[in-house]
Homo-oligomer: A and B are copies of this chain.
């Protein structure tokens, strides 16, 4: 499963968003996601497995708890892929800025 497929699922994106705020226990993630998406704990556990297996997250054990942290490597790969398109929106931003400058001058 490729990095973009992993990000294709809204549940996994949400989990990554939670992890972007720092290390999270499996329990915290599961209850947050269950509340938002109304899926079983098993479903969440399976998404966590995908994130582990594709390198988006790593785990460490602490007693029975499992603490997840994001690993940015695959996210970085996605970002690198996007590089080739970046000039397109910076062009658009430039155009927007020009437009803004023009509007300001008119005042």
A interface residues, Cβ below 8 angstroms from B: 2, 4-5, 7-8, 10, 13, 16-17, 20, 70, 72-73, 75-76, 78-79, 81-82, 84-86, 88-89, 92
Contacts and interface: CB of A to CB of B under 8 A. Distances in A.
A86 B72 CA distance: 8
One complex includes copies of this chain to the number of 2
B81 A13 contact: yes
A8 to B, nearest CB: 4
Nearest to A85: B75
Contacts of A7: 4, 7-8
A79 B88 CA distance: 12
20 contacts: A2-B8, A2-B10, A4-B13, A5-B8, A7-B7, A8-B8, A17-B84, A20-B84, A20-B85, A70-B85, A70-B88, A72-B89, A73-B89, A75-B82, A75-B85, A75-B89, A76-B88, A76-B92, A78-B82, A79-B82
